[in-house]
Amino acid sequence: MTGVLALARPDSWDFPLFLHVLGAMVLVGGLLTGASAIAFARGDARFLRLGYWTLLGVALPGYVVMRIGAQWLYSKGPWEDLPEGVDEPAWLGIGWIVADVGAALTLIALILGGIGVRRLRTGGGTGLLKAAMVIAWIVLAAALVAVWAMSGKPE
Amino acid sequence: MSFDDWILALHVLSAFAYVAAIVLFWVLVVAVRTSDTPDGTLRMGPVVKIGNACVAIGATGTIVLGIWLAFSVGGYDIWDPWIIAALVLWVLAAETGRRSGTEFMAGMTKAKELRDAGQEGPSAELLAANRTQRGLQMHTLSSVIVLLILVDMIWKPGA
């Protein structure tokens, strides 16, 4: 039943869905670019900074737009008033978990990376930026699982 | 999940790869505008390769799996206006993206030439190649077209 509810999409859901998907796409692009720039920096401070600022300036705004779209869609949907005995679909649960855990991990990556960028001035910080990169790869992988779940809608 | 559900999920994942590549190239387009040395320009090479791989996966996946879905999923036909619009926009996005790539690769080629000639310092000619206006225009156009495809996919005009 929840699958049917998800497929029968009223027109009023289109704009929130557009925001949600566009934000998620920018988030994925920002994570990919930021993590890749740090991965291939080979100690080059300019490239390490580029990676960090991409995570902060592209991935984070993408996350915010994705999350606003998600909450807007949720408020329009039937999920808060499901009949007794009908659970939220698995794909929705996967989306929430990835969004919430992903937000926490992204914040940790940004804090670690921010300290790392500051330490670049004194010749350090590379390790912290690599830690931020590893977290970004993990969030990216989780985001792709969420995309699969939200588009394929496994029962 | 049915087979069509899997195809739809892979179609959407391909679209994410495509847009992720466009975002990646935007970051590089901005970053390369201040790059006037061969080393600084060539360092972007590995990230460019990741972007190219994502474009290849994204462009191929969206068109092949999209056409599959148009034939396979009930209620949609390949001649539906929003599907024809998406196909036309996809071709335009691919061509503008290709032209943008050609423009920016000229900077990479110039950087290789300078490095091979032993010139490691700043070069005004390299900076000019990296700041290609035509490349920027083509990338902007390609991005707008892909955004229109996303709008088309969500609103499905005429469906």
**CB-closest option in B40, B43, B150 to A22:** B150
Q: Is the pLDDT of residue B63 over 60?
A: yes
Between the CA of residue A62 and those of A54, A58, A94, what are the distances in Å? 11, 6, 19
- Higher-pLDDT residue of A12 and A4 is A12
Amino acid identity for residue A59 in this structure: A
Q: Is the pLDDT of residue A64 over 50?
A: yes
Q: What is the pLDDT of residue A8?
A: 59
Average pLDDT over residues A60-70: 97
What ipTM, to 2 d.p.?
Answer: 0.94
Sort out which chain B residues have CB atoms less than 8 A from A50's CB and list them: 27, 31
How many CA atoms within 13 Å lie on the side-chain side of A76? 17
Longest dimension (CA), chain B: 62
Q: Kindly report, residue by residue over A22-44, the tens digit of the pLDDT.
A: 999 999 999 999 999 999 998 89
Q: What is the pLDDT of residue B97?
A: 97
Residues A63, A102 contacting (CB under 8 angstroms): yes
Closest CA to A146 of A76, A63, A78, A53: A63
pLDDT band at A1 (very low <50, low <70, confident <90, very high): very low
- Higher-pLDDT residue of B77 and A24 is A24
Average pLDDT over residues A117-136: 94
Average pLDDT over residues A137-152: 96
Q: What is the pTM of this model?
A: 0.93
Residue with tokens 């566009």: A22
Q: Is the pLDDT of residue A4 over 70?
A: no
Min Cα–Cα distance to chain A from B27, Å: 7
Judged by DSSP in three states, A43 sits in coil
The residues, ordered by sequence, that sit 6+ positions from A76 with a Cβ below 8 Å of its Cβ are: A10, A12, A13, A16
Q: Is the pLDDT of residue B36 over 50?
A: yes
Structure tokens at A13: 């859901």
Sort out which chain B residues have CB atoms less than 8 A from A22's CB and list them: 147, 150
Locate the chain B residue with the closest alpha carbon to A10. Answer: B155
Q: Where are the beta strands (DSSP E) in A62-154?
A: none
Sort out which chain B residues have CB atoms less than 8 A from A47's CB and list them: 43
Cβ distance of A36 and B154 shorter than 8 Å = no
Alpha-carbon span B125 to B123, nearest angstrom: 5
Alpha-carbon span A39 to B46, nearest angstrom: 10
Alpha-carbon span A44 to A47, nearest angstrom: 5
Cβ distance of A152 and B9 shorter than 8 Å = yes
Count the neighbouring beta carbons within 10 Å of the beta carbon of residue B66. Answer: 21
Q: What is the pLDDT of residue A3?
A: 45
Alpha-carbon span B120 to B154, nearest angstrom: 49
Min Cα–Cα distance to chain B from A148, Å: 5
Asked which of A68-82, B43-57, B89-103 is least confident by mean pLDDT, the reply is: A68-82
Alpha-carbon span B126 to B123, nearest angstrom: 5
pLDDT band at B135 (very low <50, low <70, confident <90, very high): very high
Closest CA to B32 of B93, B107, B85, B109: B107
Q: Kindly report, residue by residue over A67-89, the tens digit of the pLDDT.
A: 999 999 998 878 777 777 788 88
Cβ distance of A32 and B54 shorter than 8 Å = yes
pLDDT mean across residues, chain B: 95
Q: What is the pLDDT of residue B140?
A: 98
Sort out which chain A residues have CB atoms less than 8 A from B11's CB and list them: 151
Alpha-carbon span B76 to B80, nearest angstrom: 7
Average pLDDT over residues A10-14: 87
The residues, ordered by sequence, that sit 6+ positions from B72 with a Cβ below 8 Å of its Cβ are: B4, B7
Q: What is the pLDDT of residue A49?
A: 96
